[in-house]
Amino acid sequence: MSKYGDVRSGKIALVAHCILNQNSIVPGLARRQAMVKEVVDVLERYGIGIIQLPCPETLHSGLRRFWQVKEQYSSTGFKRLCRRLSRMIVDYVREYLRNDYRLVLILGVAGSPSCGIRETNSSPKWFGDPRKAGNYVKIRESGVFMEELINSLRNAKLLSNDTILTDIDYSNISASVRELEGRLRDVLDKRHE
Which domain CATH number covers 31?
3.40.50
At residue 187 the predicted structure's pLDDT band, cuts being 50, 70 and 90, is very high
17 in a structural domain: yes
Domain assignment of residue 137, given as a range: 11-191
- Least trusted range by pLDDT, from 13-17, 51-55, 134-138: 134-138
Give the model's confidence band at 192: pLDDT under 50 very low, under 70 low, under 90 confident, else very high.
Answer: low
Q: Is residue 73 part of a domain?
A: yes
**In 3D, which of 126, 117, 29, 125 has the Cα closest to residue 68?**
126
1 in a structural domain: no
Q: Is 151 a residue whose pLDDT tops 90?
A: yes
Look at the chain and report how many structural domains it folds into.
1
2 falls within a domain: no
Q: Classify residue 46: in a domain, yes or no.
A: yes
Tell me whether residue 6 is in a domain: no
DSSP tally for the chain: helices H, then strands E: 7, 6
- Terminal Cα-to-Cα distance of the chain (whole angstroms): 20
- Is residue 3 one of the residues assigned to a domain? no
Query: Rounded to whole angstroms, how far apart are CA atoms 58 and 104?
Result: 26
Residue 125: inside a domain, yes or no?
yes
Distance CA 144, CA 83 (A): 10
- Mean of the pLDDT values across residues 24-34? 92
